[in-house]
Chain A
Amino acid sequence: MQRTDSLIHHHDIAATQYDAAVRDAVALAAPKRVDDTFRFPSRTPEAQRLRQVAARTARAPRTSDAIRDQHIDSAVQNAFKQAQKQQANSDEMRVYAQWVLHANAALEGMRQKAVRGER
């Protein structure tokens, strides 16, 4: 059996078991939408609380609590920025994947025509 044949054969056997496993992996590994992970609209009670804390901190002398709140605020903002960046990557991945699927379908079409002997 040629090497490519053996790889295809192996894939054919593994495909059934693999499909179920990969479906789970895809579901787990799929990039989440920003909204799913970071519910951070500015009007939520939590955001208002953070804003009040920030205003109080601006007026009051710096205490360890105020500094800690500032750190939390900055960490949330950083996480949000990071999530936005991830979203850009996800969009990029989707565009590439769509293109590749299109090319794969075109290749498959050419193969089928060649097998049928069409020019």
Chain B
Amino acid sequence: MSFFVSASKMLFGSSDPLAVFRTRPTRRQLIQRESELGGQLFGPVPAGHHRQFFNLDTTTWIWYEEWMNEKGELESTTTRYEVHENGILKVQDNAPYYFIEGQELVNLTAAIQTYYQRVSREIYHRDPATAQPLAA
């Protein structure tokens, strides 16, 4: 066993030192991957639309959708959900902020639950219930 291989195993737990850098994505890359998955959670996206839904940080969720209107102009909307101790505040440009409730609250929480489960398994390879690594 060469010096580099054994040193790599000691330092990184792998015989391929470059594998460490290849398997270490940045935080933004991870969020990008999550957003691609999140956009699929609400059923089929209408033709010509692009949708992203992702968790930005410990208190913020973002829904972004863009599409071409009838005149061929690009339109988009960004909705931010701020999670506070006493409820979830919906924030949209040019619209009053309000705490969501009823069916809207149930739908968002169901989407977040599905997102959490799928992202845990498919991106982080962890059991969503225990956060422990899934068996290979």
Contact = CB atoms under 8 A, between A and B. Distances in A.
Contacts, number: 126
A61 B55 CA distance: 65
Interface in A22-41: 22, 25-26, 29-31
A98 B116 CA distance: 15
Given A22-B97, A92-B105, A106-B116, A97 B86 contact: yes
A114 B62 CA distance: 21
B101 A89 contact: yes
Contact of A29 (B20, B99, B106): B99
B126 A110 contact: yes
B27 A111 contact: yes
Contacts of B24: 114-117
Given A107-B55, A115-B25, A100 B83 contact: yes
Interface string A46-88: 0000000000000000000000000000000000000000000
Contacts of A8: 28, 31, 56
A4 B35 contact: yes
Interface residues of A, number: 39
Contacts of A43: none
A3 B87 CA distance: 28
B35 A22 contact: no
Given A5-B32, A107-B119, A97 B27 contact: no
A25 B112 CA distance: 24
Contacts of B40: none
B71 interface: no
A104 B83 contact: yes
A94 B85 CA distance: 6
B109 interface: yes
Given A105-B58, A119-B133, A100 B101 contact: no
Interface of B: 12, 20, 23-28, 30-32, 35, 50, 52, 54-60, 62, 64, 78, 80, 82-89, 91, 97-102, 105-106, 109, 112-113, 116, 119-120, 123-126, 131, 133
Q: Give the 8 A-B CB pairs with smallest separation, nearest first.
A: A93-B87, A110-B124, A117-B24, A104-B58, A25-B97, A103-B116, A4-B32, A4-B35
